[in-house]
Amino acid sequence: METENFENNLTCDKCDAACCRYVALEIDCPEDLEDFENIKWYVVHQNVKVFVDEDYSWNLEFSTPCKNLGENNRCLAYEDRPQICRDYNQKQCTFHNSYDEKYSFNSIKDVEEYIEKVFKLGRHIIP
């Protein structure tokens, strides 16, 4: 009953519109040191990071707000929004739920630390 009430009360009221402030695309999991050079190249760009999701999928994220995001954090094109926005599930929203990335890479240093502490020690998981 508690879960049902929680799910019925999920709205975008007071939300910071985090889901409208980035684009993330799944990328191939790096398998060798050469692949990590690509990851380093991604993260040297402004407003770009790479993260490993809870299911060990690798993602490239661009921090950039949607052109249709209003100052009030509401969609200015709600009726015409893309299908991915229509399909977005508020039960998975980071505003309503905690979300932990396995790993997050914002700099070359982050990538090099992962290589030393995880990859070279055989702890790197390829899904």
Sorted by where each begins, the domain ranges of the chain are 2-119
Report pLDDT for 1.
41
Report pLDDT for 67.
97
CA 63 distance to own-chain centroid: 9
Report pLDDT for 99.
72
For residue range 38-49, list pLDDT tens digits in order. Answer: 999 999 999 999
Nearest to 11 by CA among 74, 79, 66: 74
Report pLDDT for 10.
66
For the chain, what is the radius of gyration of the CA atoms? 17
Report pLDDT for 2.
44
Stretches in the chain below the pLDDT threshold 70: 1-10, 96
pTM metric for this prediction = 0.83
Report pLDDT for 92.
72
Report pLDDT for 9.
64
